[in-house]
Amino acid sequence: MDVSPLPAAAPSLVTPSLNHPKPRLAFPLHHPSAPTPRGSGSVAVRCANSRAPPHLRRAAADDDGEDSFPPPSLRIRRLAEEFRAVPDAANRARHLLAHAAALPRLGEADRVAANRVMGCVAQVWLVGQCDAGGRMRFSADSDSELSRGYCAWLISALDGARPEEVLDVDPADLAPLGGIAAGTRSRATTWHNVLVGMQKRARAAIAAREGRPPGEPFPSLVIARDRAVRAQGSYAEAQFEKACFTRKLLCSISWSCSCAVLLNGPQDHLRQMGHKAMFLSPDESKISELLKYLREKKIGVVAHFYMDPEVQGILTASKRHWPHIHISDSLVMADSAVKMAEAGCEYITVLGVDFMSENVRAILDQAGFNKVGVYRMSSDQIGCSLADAASSSAYTHFLKGASRSPPSLHVIYINTSLETKAHAHELVPTITCTSSNVVATILQAFAQIPGLNVWYGPDSYMGANILDLFQRMAVMSDEEIAEIHSSHNKKSINSLLPRLHYYQDGNCIVHDMFGHEVVEKIKEQYCDAFLTAHFEVPGEMFSLSMEAKTRGMGVVGSTQNILDFIKSRLMEALNRNIDDHLQFVLGTESGMITSIVAAVHELLDSYKSSQQSANIEVEIVFPVSSDAVSNTSVNGSHHLDSSTATDFDKISVVPGVSSGEGCSIHGGCASCPYMKMNSFGSLLKVCHQLPDKDNRLTAYQASRFNAKTPQGNLVAEVGCEPILHMRHFQATKRLSDKLVHQVIHGNGEPTL
């Protein structure tokens, strides 16, 4: 991204002459008013004079009366300007290598995983704490000399600064430093990631100074090479029935409110325990029972990523013996159902919310599989807050406004009912989208139809995030914009901004949890971790993850995008073959944990037979708001049978609302209460009673819309058309001629 022009640089901070083996810095590594750290000797990089030149001094004086250096933020900007002024990458690299040689080495005791800076190509270690005078003291090291050079420059600017001054440094000021190492963008992110690590330590120093105890960590799950899974963290116990013991082992974990199973011993509240959970090692008898029905009755199963992890575990294990089981996002569920029907499945069971089973039913009908039965998992309605928002009168009012502003295109999220899609399409030409293709869809629409107005809904957070993304693009260079969409540039992006509209009264109750409280805790405790966020999260979480994305530490997108990001970072670590601990903050529904664990185990296993011998762990962190934490104490928990009540009786299941039922529709954690209505018992019940000769499963059948729209058309036919428009876009990367005609001339058929 472009950065606004910086102020003119002060006289040279870096002497560019290559005749000197060690370029001189105008800023010493250590602040002159502070004592030299013990053990550092005289190897700190210093300029010839021990004081900064007059034009770099602040007018204000420090508490000790000594003139201080300019603010660290100014030093960073000037260093960045100086680096940008050096003519080529080779010369810049030589300067970095020279300063790397002057950086003191860390002792082995500090070169440990706890001090590792994640996201760097090389191994980088950072140590930072506040001294008695209230100033930050930093030291760093790396197994790469270029990375050591990066660290030396950052330490020269920030060592000796006050914690608040470290936090004032804008990471965007490091943008000019990108690509200095022979154009390697990934290596240049070391600048940014080390700075983030410094700022995390500065926040901790401020908290300690103010007497605030370290915050409790979010629940997390650590996945290791030996297939051991351990939970860690400390929260009050929440009682709820799904956590249980059988065969003297933990056999079931409820993740119904993004929970991990946590030890809470009296001496060490961060103790850890290896265990086998049902979603990893499900009961073989349940797998056998399910497989018997699936094979005998030719039943296919499609399930969403947000499904209950215990159920997902059984399905994942069963898939090894019956290929017609698929866990994915909502769009691929329907595609998979068609493939199962083509392979001979006579029934499809859908584990999701009602609009998903409706879509499966409609797509099968469109593909000619009208006789294939489609069954949901409850006789009650399995709702969705987004789908409900799109079926409201307020959303109809939103679309009527769009119909009065031609030419208009309605881009509707796939997570809506077929009836909503049909009624919307008759008001405004409509195309569906997913969280992974919505940006490409909107950009292509603006490029393909001059003067177009785009109306997105119903997810308000996603709409705001799309607008935010386009505003970010508006300050990029034309070359950077072209990498995102070849038909756009700064002028076209700025021109489309006032013509992009989004519905402002709809959201997902799960992603709504990722608001201010959670984001502030992520900033304080997890800013140096890999951040993942679904496109449906509130703007604060979106911005935080987008910033992380710019330095290779984040992803914003669909559930599949998040899964792919975790896998790619793990593969990079495996290829480096160095001991590592990768920490990911999961910014979406906690039900994804089963797919994540399965994918991580698959990758770890695939490297077992190779020469790869490093100890690499993946930690998944589950953000939780205070609303989801129960006040129940460990002493108040119900006890297990004496035969199993050993150290296991100290386990706490975290978090959970006070009632102990897991997350409610009031939020507090990343778990969808509607998705959790899809139980294994319901799946067995449906499979057992098929074929439904006595009509006992009528309430479980997916709706087949025989109703008509206000214009007299079949809901099933009209509702499928926006989906078909999206399929055309996915295949060709262009809007279909039919849709373009509908936008420009109305919903009639194009004239030939």
Instruction: Return the active site residues.
Output: 120
Query: Residue 337 has which token pair?
Result: 């159902």
Question: Nearest-CA neighbor of 11 among 50, 58, 55, 71?
Answer: 55
Beta strand spans in 608-732 (E):
616-621, 651-654
Q: What is the DSSP string of 273-307?
A: EEE--TTTS--HHHHHHHHHHHHHHTEEEEEETTS
CA distances from 584 to 164, 221, 303 (A): 27, 10, 24
Rounded CA-CA distance 650/659 in Å is 20
Tally of CA atoms within 13 A in the half-sphere of 97 that contains its CB: 10
Lookup result for tokens 């300063």:
99
Counting Cβ atoms within 10 Å, is residue 414 exposed (0-12), middle (13-18) or buried (19+)?
buried
Tally of CA atoms within 13 A in the half-sphere of 48 that contains its CB: 4
Q: 7 preceded by cis ω (within 30°)? A: no
Q: Which residues contact residue 228 at a Cβ distance below 8 angstroms, ignoring those fewer than 6 apart? A: 274
Strand partners, 388: none
Q: Is the distance from CB of 305 to CB of 591 less than 8 angstroms?
A: yes
- How many helices (H) and strands (E) would you count in the chain? 23, 21
Ramachandran assignment for 363, one of left (phi > 0), alpha (psi -120 to 50 degrees), beta (any other) = alpha
Counting Cβ atoms within 10 Å, is residue 376 exposed (0-12), middle (13-18) or buried (19+)?
buried
Strand order in the sheet with 500-502: 430-433, 408-413, 453-457, 500-502
Rounded CA-CA distance 484/443 in Å is 9
CA distances from 401 to 389, 410, 486 (A): 17, 11, 31
CA distances from 162 to 44, 209, 687 (A): 19, 12, 65
Q: Please tell me what DSSP assigns to residue 610.
A: S
Q: Which residues contact residue 2 at a Cβ distance below 8 angstroms, ignoring those fewer than 6 apart? A: 475, 476, 477, 480
Query: Residue 544 has which token pair?
Result: 């935080």
Residue 130 main-chain phi, psi, to 5 deg:
-90, 135
Rounded CA-CA distance 375/337 in Å is 12
Give, rounded to a whole angstrom, the gap between the first and last alpha carbons of the chain: 45
Helix segments in 269-417, DSSP class H: 284-297, 309-319, 330-342, 354-366, 385-390, 393-403
Residue 567 main-chain phi, psi, to 5 deg:
-65, -40
Q: Is the distance from CB of 445 to CB of 411 less than 8 angstroms?
A: yes
Which residue type, as a one-letter code, is found at position 383? G
Q: Is the distance from CB of 478 to CB of 553 less than 8 angstroms?
A: no
Query: Residue 183 has which token pair?
Result: 């154009």
Counting Cβ atoms within 10 Å, is residue 577 exposed (0-12), middle (13-18) or buried (19+)?
middle
Lookup result for tokens 């969808």:
672
Helix (H, G, I), strand (E, B) or coil at 431: strand
Q: Which residues contact residue 74 at a Cβ distance below 8 angstroms, ignoring those fewer than 6 apart? A: none
